[in-house]
Structure 1
Amino acid sequence: MRPTPDPRTRARATTLLAAAAAAVAARGVFRVCRSRPPGGSARWTRTNHRGEQVSLLLGPAAVAAAAATTAVAPGLDRGERLAGMVAVLGSGAVGLYDDLAGTTTVKGFRGHLRALRRGEVTSGLVKIAGIGASGVLAAAALREGSRAQRTDGARSASGPTALVDTLADGALIAMAANVVNLFDLRPGRALKVVLAHTPALLAAAGPALAAPVGAAAGLVADDLGERGMLGDCGANALGAGIGVAIAARAPRPLRWAALAGLVGLTLAAERVSFTAVIEAHPPLRRLDELGRRKPSR
């Protein structure tokens, strides 16, 4: 008689299959879009850090693959599925708006707030508001639509506690979207941050991470090869997907610790260049350069 497979083994296998499907989908969507760019190639072409022309279509490919995988991947409850799609599509949409219509003259939270005080509503401020709104909506979907209970029972809370948890989880999702985008200053860097969550695919958060991590795996070669860039669209969307995975499965103390860490990184980025920090530390620099073509002499 054939032994019955361990349920955890089956769950891990289906999670890995979902991640593989996301990788194949992301790569396929990028290939199709790059061959027939909507609205023409000029609309999707930007200058990268080397001064070379590359395609922005990695971002929409990441959003499409992550959202589609979230919609059909096994192992997610109703709340996680809805939250993942809201976060990925919402963050990706406002990121795409900033990629296509935004300017780079104003940067950082403080820069956008200073512009607002002058009466100027920047595309970056629209993006910040949109990511924040989609984060809160995703957090509300986790609470209202999920049948699963967190290990700390937070989903069964009501009243002020429920409101605080929802707002904190919404901030966590939004901050995760922002922080991954902060790393998207060199080819492959943001996707490596997403791929660093691969070990968690085999843990409790696995099903919710399959979509963002799988999409990152499918696109990292094109990003490192500088055939395309994620832009705000892709980086924000994949970061939001990771935020949903943490908010969905982590106990409350870990969620608050993650939120504090993300806020700290966001504040640090206002004063410190992540690129300068990475280049000043050889182990980080080697990891950052792994797989990237060498600079021309």
Structure 2
Amino acid sequence: MAFLRSFGIGASIARTTLAWVRNDPKSDALRRSNFQGREVTLAGGPALAVGATAGAAFGAPTARLAAAAVTAGAVSGAVGFYDDIVGNRPEQKAAKGFAGHLGALREGRVTSGMAKIVGVGAAGLVASALIGSGRSSRRGRGTDILLGAGVIAGTANLLNLLDLRPGRAIKAGTILGAPLAAGRNAAMTAGMLGASSALLPADLNEEIMLGDSGANAFGALLGVAFTARSGTAGRVVALAALASLTAASEKISFTKVISGTPWLRSLDELGRRPPRA
């Protein structure tokens, strides 16, 4: 019952937020052209961030875990939204990837992307500290908190890297969240999946775009759910995998890998609008 309530709350709040943002008089500023040249709106980002955060917090079994979800989801969504808006400016577009943002910082320029990186990292650290650790020593607890922060920030970044085609980030998040939707803290994950499921049809139909706001928030919340259920070994393995994928993204195109792998391509294209002739 708790699972279904959280799922429903996440879905309802995501739909309500999407309608509210799309009907706002200033919503024209959120219009963008996607990879096929179709006009979409970035309203999907804040809708997912708000819906998934609220759903996760409602389903959290403790106040500390609810606070961790709110911190990770709200901050990651907010700094992601800032990057979605400010990062579209010509002077911001020149900096690509972590190396590009770091290079701009060396030149004395703080890009919106760097602000997002710092914000997501700080939110991950606070959220991980709220989750805590079961280890008895101070060093052990500190290590677990740092590992958890890396997992939360790393998962946020991974979903953002995948958000290059309609529905891709939500599908990836659903796959990552499926194992967390059973057993301990399942209702928390249900809230996130409810929000993402509610927005998936509009995303696949190329009406909305998640942007950094939605992808970062969804990923960070999945990181919180995983960190809350894992010990030191699990966090180490997850962080190593995330770091490897992030490093690989600087050298190879995930889109090209997906397009060149038949089963991944089929999954990626499932439910999506046909390409323009």
In our comparison, the structure showing a higher alpha carbon Rg is 1
Native 8 Å contact 2:49 2:213 kept in 1: yes
Where does 1:37-52 land on structure 2 (aligned, <5 Å)?
Answer: 37=24, 39-52=25-38
Alignment match, 1:166: 145
2:266 to 276, 281, 286: 286
Displacement after TM superposition at 1:46 (Å): 1.2
Gap runs ≥5 in structure 1: 1-12, 144-153
Does residue 212 of structure 2 align to residue 214 of structure 1?
no
> What code does the residue aligned with 1:167 have?
L
Q: Which runs of 5+ in 2 are unaligned?
A: none
Would you say the 8 A contact 2:53–2:221 is kept in 1?
no
- TM-score scaled to structure 1, two decimals? 0.88
DSSP-derived class of the 1:241 partner: helix
The match for 1:249 among 229, 247, 250 is 229
8 Å Cα contact 1:23/1:218 also seen in 2:
yes
Between the aligned partners of 2:201 and 2:275, the Cα distance in structure 1 is: 17
Please show how residues 188-267 of structure 1 align to structure 2 within 5 Å.
188-196=167-175, 197-267=177-247
Q: How far, CA to CA, are the matches of 1:258 and 1:205 in structure 2?
A: 18
1:65 to 40, 51, 58: 51
Task: Name the structure 1 match of 2:117.
Answer: 128
Q: Which amino acid aligns with 1:53?
A: E
Q: Write the distance in 1 (CA, Å) between the matches of 2:15 and 2:83.
A: 23
| Kept after mapping to 2: 8 A contact 1:86/1:134 | yes
Partner of 1:100: 85
Matched, 1:118 2:107: yes
CA offset at residue 265 of structure 1? 0.7
Deviation of the 1:71 alpha carbon: 3.2
Please, what TM-score do these two structures have when normalized by structure 2?
0.94
| Counterpart-to-counterpart distance in 1, 2:53 and 2:27 | 24
CA-CA distance at 1:19 after TM superposition: 1.4
Q: CA deviation at 1:205?
A: 4.3
1:8 counterpart residue number: none
Q: Give the fraction of aligned pairs with identical amino acids, expressed as a percent.
A: 42
* RMSD of aligned residue pairs (Cα, Å): 1.4
What amino acid does structure 2 have at the position aligned with 1:19? Answer: F
Which residue, 13, 17, 24 being the options, matches 1:29?
17
Superposed CA deviations along residues 109-129 of structure 1, whole A, max 9, x for unmatched, are 111112222222111011000
Q: Partner of 1:271 in structure 2? A: 251
Distance 1:19 1:93, change over 3 A: same
